[in-house]
């Protein structure tokens, strides 16, 4: 496993700058990998799947340490707004969820009260023990075959919009095969013309 400083440098490159969330994310991922006994996730492709629970700085750091990307299907996002990640070792079936303790912010303030909030958190998160920063819990995660890195499956076409659907993400509504959008699970609404 790389050193904390090496991972912080990688995380800063991936994220564009170093911040307290990056330091916390690096530490969180290092703990998860250590608990699983995975020293170099880049050396064993398709062994690790990581679920992150927030779309903030922490996630970029976790991805850098765990060597996981959405495009490689090794990073899964659950929008729960929590500074937490679950690391699943596909080789052994073991999984561990690591979550930042809410009390870690106060511990950082107490450790460096003379520093500005961000600077104090960065410095403290690099030095505080794992026990002060995180809760960890062994969990069971069923990773479906269609969610695995490298899964090759049939591609189907939505009967309404005619767009292709991969990885068994289609739904059947009243006997029709639809994409999730046409089935009503939309994050956007259609406009007649360009707004503005």
* 11-66 pLDDT, tens digit each: 999 999 999 999 999 999 999 999 999 999 999 888 999 999 999 999 999 999 99
Element (H, E) at 173: strand 171-173
Q: What is the pLDDT of residues 65-95, one digit of tens each?
A: 999 999 899 999 999 999 999 999 999 999 9
pLDDT on residue 194:
76
pLDDT on residue 45:
83
User: How far, rounded to the nearest angstrom, does the alpha carbon of residue 105 sit from its chain's CA centroid?
Assistant: 21
Least confident of 10-14, 105-109, 167-171, 187-191: 187-191
pLDDT band at 189 (very low <50, low <70, confident <90, very high): confident
Residue 188 has pLDDT above 90, yes or no: no
CA distances from 105 to 7, 135, 140 (A): 21, 14, 29
pLDDT on residue 196:
67
pLDDT on residue 152:
84
Residue 19: how many other CB atoms lie within 10 Å: 20
User: How far, rounded to the nearest angstrom, does the alpha carbon of residue 186 sit from its chain's CA centroid?
Assistant: 22
Strand-pairing partners, residue 156, are 165
- In the chain, what are the domains? 4-145 (3.30.1330.130), 153-196 (no CATH)
Q: What is the pLDDT of residues 128-151, one digit of tens each?
A: 999 999 999 999 999 998 899 888
Model pTM score: 0.88
User: How far, rounded to the nearest angstrom, does the alpha carbon of residue 103 sit from its chain's CA centroid?
Assistant: 22
Largest CA distance in the chain: 65
Going by the DSSP 8-state scheme, the letter that residue 100 receives in this structure is E
**Burial of 28 (C-beta count, 10 Å sphere; 0-12/13-18/19+):** buried
Q: What is the pLDDT of residues 103-118, one digit of tens each?
A: 999 999 999 999 999 9
């Amino acid at each position: 496993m790389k050193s904390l400083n090496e991972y912080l440098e990688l995380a800063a490159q991936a994220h564009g700058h170093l911040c307290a969330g990056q330091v916390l994310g690096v530490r969180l991922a290092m703990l998860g990998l250590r608990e699983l006994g995975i020293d170099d996730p880049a050396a064993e492709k398709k062994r690790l799947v990581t679920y992150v629970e927030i779309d903030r700085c922490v996630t970029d750091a976790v991805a850098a340490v765990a060597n996981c990307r959405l495009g490689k299907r090794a990073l899964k996002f659950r929008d729960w707004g929590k500074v937490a990640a679950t690391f699943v070792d596909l080789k052994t079936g073991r999984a561990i969820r690591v979550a930042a303790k809410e009390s870690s912010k106060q511990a950082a303030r107490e450790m460096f009260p003379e520093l500005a909030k961000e600077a104090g958190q960065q410095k403290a998160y690099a030095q505080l023990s794992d026990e002060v920063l995180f809760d960890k819990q062994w969990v069971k995660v069923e990773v479906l075959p269609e969610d695995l890195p490298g899964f090759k499956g049939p591609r189907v076409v939505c009967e309404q919009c005619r767009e292709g659907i991969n990885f068994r993400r289609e739904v059947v509504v009243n006997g029709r095969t639809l994409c999730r959008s046409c089935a009503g699970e939309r994050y956007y609404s259609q406009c007649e013309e360009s707004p503005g």
